[in-house]
Amino acid sequence: MSALGGPFFAGGWLENDRRVSDMATASKSSKSKGKSTNSGKRNTTRQKHARAKPKQHSNPSRWSHHVMETSDAMDIEHEIFKEGSAQEIADSLKKSSTRSNRRKGTPFQSAMSMLNFYINRAGRNLPKSRRTTLDNAKKRLREAFGRKP
């Protein structure tokens, strides 16, 4: 038994120690021949993607605020999600989405995605009473656009 208390030996089961040692000697012999190995992994032709580097903002945790301020989705009434009733939110979103020329989808899709974006980004920080109001705003928004609730 190993020092870890299990029947492991060199990364494999004891009955497979022969195969593990064979792989170790094979990788040593291939290194001596000038071939490079990737520790037993086969080479793939997968494309490597560059990692995105985070931009230096004054407060990087407020990226959703940046999206709300600079998004091309539509212009909405300031702080409507924080203060308005369900009917006021639905009316404001409908008005904003039908007037906007910068949206990519239908006015209903644009309004609903903006409401869902706010709800999802607020997450657990959203009080239950406000969450209920915003869920009711979704229902009112569907009714305002003639969709099934």
pLDDT tens track for 84-139: 899 999 999 999 888 888 778 899 998 999 899 889 988 888 999 999 999 999 99
| DSSP single-letter state for residue 76 | -
The whole-number pLDDT of residue 83 equals: 85
Distances (CA, A) of 103 to 31, 110, 112, 145: 58, 7, 12, 16
This prediction has a pTM of 0.53
Distances (CA, A) of 115 to 14, 36, 60, 79: 58, 54, 22, 12
One-letter identity of residue 136 = N
